[in-house]
Amino acid sequence: MKFEVDAVDGSGRIVGRNIGEDIPIGSTFTRITKTQFEGQSPHITSTDSGIIASIRLTLKKVEWYGRSIDVIPGGHSAGLLVDGDGMSILNSVLENRKQRESVYLVVQ
């Protein structure tokens, strides 16, 4: 399960989109990964940077279209509230993100 992170807002909410299967509340994100994209459509290439950091952030709340739900639906954007270790690492990775680089939280 993988969640692409766009930003962390001022209240500590992680904003982004689920690019795969549903991710239920209680799931723990254990890794941060990155992918660099290059080229122009239809010839875009990607380079996976692998695991950037180990973290332990447990999903406590999913905000979806103005309401709280029990999962991050696959293919949808959402705001996440998490608890645990790794927010400072995530913030640092996002601050140093290059152009056309995607950052992901991964449940393993």
- Type of residue at 106: V
DSSP per position, 55-82: EEEEEEEEEETTEEESEE-TT-EEEEEE
CATH number at 2-107: 2.40.30
pLDDT above 90: residue 60: yes
Mean pLDDT of the chain: 95
In whole angstroms, give the CA distance from residue 35 to residue 41: 17
Predicted confidence (pLDDT) per residue in 73-88, tens digit: 999 999 999 999 999 9
Name the percent of the chain lying above pLDDT 70: 100
- What value does the mean pLDDT take over residues 32-39? 95
What lies within 8 Å, CB to CB, of 26 at 6+ separation is: 58, 59
> Which pTM value belongs to this model?
0.93
Distances (CA, A) of 4 to 70, 76: 18, 10
Predicted confidence (pLDDT) per residue in 48-59, tens digit: 999 999 999 999
Domain ranges (residues) in the chain: 2-107
- At 10, the pLDDT band (50, 70, 90 cuts) reads confident
